Amino acid sequence: MDINGIPPLSPLESAKAILGEHFKNYVIIAQDYDSPTSYEVAFSDPYAAHGLLDCANIYHQQYLNAGLDDEDVAWIWEEDDEEEED
């Protein structure tokens, strides 16, 4: 608690407060170190969050494909024929 008896903001609440001051719409997805299979989500508007996540998904897919369309990317998987000796 601070000197006024107000508890400090959590990191997610702090991020929401900062982004809310500067941006109309935002989405925050955060994963805690202690629980790698769970996450926390915060957003300003559910409809805007849907659009932002769609755009982010397209951007991320292009990033993973080095800027190429999905049709132009061919992943080649090679089998390792060597067996490890004990």
Task: Note the residue count of the chain.
Answer: 86
4 domain residue, yes or no? no
37 domain residue, yes or no? yes
82 domain residue, yes or no? no
77 domain residue, yes or no? no
Contact 30, 13 (CB under 8 A): no
β-bridge partners, 40? 30
Number of domains in the chain: 1
The secondary structure of 4-22 as a DSSP string is TSPPPPPHHHHHHHHHHHH
Q: How confident is the model at residue 77 (pLDDT cuts 50, 70, 90)?
A: confident
Using alpha carbons only, give the angle 65, 50, 60 rounded to the nearest 5 degrees: 15
Determine the structural domain holding residue 36 and report its residue range: 11-72
Q: How confident is the model at residue 72 (pLDDT cuts 50, 70, 90)?
A: low
Contact 45, 27 (CB under 8 A): no
